[in-house]
Chains A and B, each alone.
Chain A
Amino acid sequence: METEIPVFVGTTSTRGEWLQQCAASFKHRLFTPIIDDATQELAQIKFIHETFRHERFLFLHDSVEILDDRFFELIDATSGSVALFSDPVPFGMFMGVFERKVLDSVPLWQPASKEAAARAELLWTTRYARAAKPYTILFPDVCDRKAVRVVERFGRKNLVLENEFIRKYKGTWGMNPYALRGR
Chain B
Amino acid sequence: MHYEVVEPSAIYEFVDGEVLALNLMTGIYIQMKQLSAELFHALATGTSTEVIVSAAKTAGYSAAHIAEFDTHYSNWVALGLLRNAQHIGRPTSESFTLTPALQFVEEQWDDLSELIMMDPVHDVSPQGWPTPIDE
Q: Are B112 and A89 in contact (CB under 8 A)?
A: yes
Contacts of B15 in A (CB 8 A): 107-109
Interface size class of B (residues with CB under 8 A): 20 to 34
Question: Which residues between 114 and 130 of chain B lie within 8 Å of chain A, taking CB atoms?
Answer: 115-120, 124, 128-130
Contacts of A70 in B (CB 8 A): none
- Asked whether B24 is an interface residue with its Cβ less than 8 Å from the other chain, the reply is yes
Complex alpha-carbon distance, A130 and B24, angstroms = 17
Q: Are A178 and B129 in contact (CB under 8 A)?
A: no
The number of residue pairs between A and B whose CB atoms lie closer than 8 Å in the complex comes to 77
Complex alpha-carbon distance, A142 and B119, angstroms = 17
Contacts of A87 in B (CB 8 A): 129
- Asked whether B18 is an interface residue with its Cβ less than 8 Å from the other chain, the reply is yes
Q: Which residues of B contact A (CB under 8 A)?
A: 8-9, 11-13, 15-16, 18, 20-22, 24-25, 27, 29, 31, 109, 112, 115-120, 124, 128-130
Q: Which residues of A contact B (CB under 8 A)?
A: 86-90, 107-109, 116, 119-120, 122-124, 126-127, 129-130, 140-141, 143-146, 176-178, 180-182
> Can you list 16 contacts pairing A with B, beta carbon distance less than 8 Å?
A87-B129, A107-B16, A119-B11, A120-B13, A122-B24, A124-B13, A127-B31, A130-B109, A141-B129, A144-B120, A145-B128, A177-B24, A177-B27, A177-B116, A178-B119, A181-B24
